[in-house]
Amino acid sequence: MTQSASPQATNGKPGPMLAADGTPLKRSLARALRRQKMRALLLIAPLLLFVLITFIAPIADMLFRSVENQIVEETLPETVPLLQQWDHDASELPPEPVWTAFYIDLVLAEERKLHTRLGSRLNYEMTGLSSLFRRTGRAVGRFDTDTYTDQFTALDPTWEDAATWVAMFEDDTIREALPLTARTWDRWADYLVTDKNDNPAEEDVEDFLFTALYTDLTRDGVSVTGTTPRLQQAAGAVGDFETVSIMAQFEDADDDWVNPEVMRTIQTYSPPYTSGYFLNAVDMQLTPDGVEAREENQRIYGLLFKRTIFMSLTITLSCILLGYPVAWILANLPMRTSNLLMILVLLPFWTSLLVRTSAWKVMLQQQGVINDVLVWLGLVNDADRLVMINNQFGTIVAMTHILLPFMILPMYSVMQTIPPSYLRAAKSLGATNWTAFWRVYFPQSVPGIGAGSILVFILSIGYYITPEIVGGTTGTFISNRIAYHISSSLNWGLGAALGAILLAVVLLLYWAYDKIVGIDNVKLG
């Protein structure tokens, strides 16, 4: 007989237990446990990966989009740092260097067709900015800045040669002396190479490059000592150049640019991350002066959140009241009969959700089937037909019908496990039918009610197809606004913020349910 493990004596003292292969038993057990855990991990790895890709990653992306605001900083890299230094309380409009940087950024953004995206982003915060950026994008290339171009080329015609600029910015000394021009040239060259597949040395030198060069050469503390004679000549002559007001050019393009609120809005939403989306989602707004409440007639999201929670709870309660008797009957009928009736419960799953919702729209309308029956029975006057559609009532009725099977199935599966002998024992001890049900049967069915309630509530709070069709203006959910911002207005940041708040509300209610009822008491049978 082979011994699997035995203690080894050392100096008369018992040693550690050894496995059959001679290794210490403790180490052998630990290795076997690690292998077991690794096999279990490999088995669940596909499911874990699926959950990470389809659930965790989208939620993480949604949370990021709700605060992400990098489009302003990426589209206006020269304007944003200068605009952050502007004191909007001290002056109505930014100084000329800000407008010059904005002109350079907007020209390059228009070439890449990014100015419309920027306008759309800022339009969420101030109505009209989308069209303003679109109009100005068409005009910015025609700004009267060729004055600088003409004056530089009059000094030296080689300034018109792009090869001159390529050679100039290969010199680190010049790049250090002309930082704005160097960055502008790099962005322009990158656009030519990446987007147009052109050679920067063979293209025309644009007017905005000369504007950047003039701005650098007139900057306080600029020094071009040790650079090319051409650049030193230009530095000595720019003091006598005829100047151009870039702010006046923007004003000529559109009078709205001299509205201080435009630049204040850009300044407020220039950081790469913002709380503006979340503030909008709770009927607040981020302004240059801080957080403020929106006008009374613009506060819609708080109402939608309250309505969503109220109607979801109402739908859940309706499903409990209608589903409990059905589940009780199914659980107490003979198996053959209950299986036949279960087909009727599952029948709605075989019909399209859109068809079921549209059917309720036909039935609930004022000239629909239900009103016709009520008029025929004399319960309702033909001139006073009930309004049951495009309101909260219609949404509650349609969604209760759609979600009712999700309540019946968990309750039925739990009720099936309750032995009928418990009720008979209670009655034999003198309990009435009601007392036996309420004191014995109902407490054992609560886990099924809990499971069905969580299922129905979570499904209803995120529904948007049915409320969109039958809800009208007073029966829609917050999910309808989320779908609108994601698919129609394309305000993904606000849609993500609303979704994040809705997720937080659901988790909070789930936590409260766990504290009050206990999630361990929820069963599916």
Q: Calculate mean pLDDT across residues 291-317.
A: 91
Report CA dihedral (44, 47, 52, 55) to the nearest 10 degrees: -140
Residue 250: partners with Cβ closer than 8 Å, 6 or more residues away? 99, 102, 103, 136, 257, 258
Q: Calculate mean pLDDT across residues 272-292.
A: 90
What whole-number distance in Å separates Cα of residue 187 and Cα of residue 116? Answer: 19
Q: Please enumerate, as own/partner, the contacts of 275-282 that have beta carbons within 8 Å and a separation of 24 or more.
A: 275/67, 276/69, 276/125, 276/493, 277/66, 277/67, 277/493, 277/494, 277/496, 277/497, 278/66, 278/67, 278/497, 278/500, 278/501, 280/124, 280/494, 280/497, 281/494, 281/497, 281/498, 281/501, 282/501
Determine the Cα angle at 241 with ends 240 and 242, to 5°.
120
Does 132 have pLDDT greater than 90?
A: yes
Residue 35: partners with Cβ closer than 8 Å, 6 or more residues away? none
List pLDDT tens digits, range 314-325.
Answer: 999 999 999 999
Going by the DSSP 8-state scheme, the letter that residue 286 receives in this structure is: E
What whole-number distance in Å separates Cα of residue 78 and Cα of residue 85? Answer: 12
Structure-token pair, residue 311: 């109607």
What share of the chain in percent tops pLDDT 90?
50
Structure-token pair, residue 11: 């100096």
Does 3 have pLDDT greater than 50?
A: no
What whole-number distance in Å separates Cα of residue 363 and Cα of residue 193? Answer: 63
* Domain 301-521 bears CATH identifier 1.10.10.10: no
Does 74 have pLDDT greater than 60?
A: yes
- Domain range annotation of the chain: 31-65, 146-240, 301-521
List pLDDT tens digits, range 474-516.
Answer: 888 999 999 999 888 889 999 999 999 998 988 888 888 777 7
Residue 94's pLDDT is: 93
Structure-token pair, residue 224: 């071009």
Does 523 have pLDDT greater than 80?
A: no
Does 399 have pLDDT greater than 70?
A: yes
Q: How many beta carbons lie within 10 A of that of residue 434, not counting itself?
A: 8
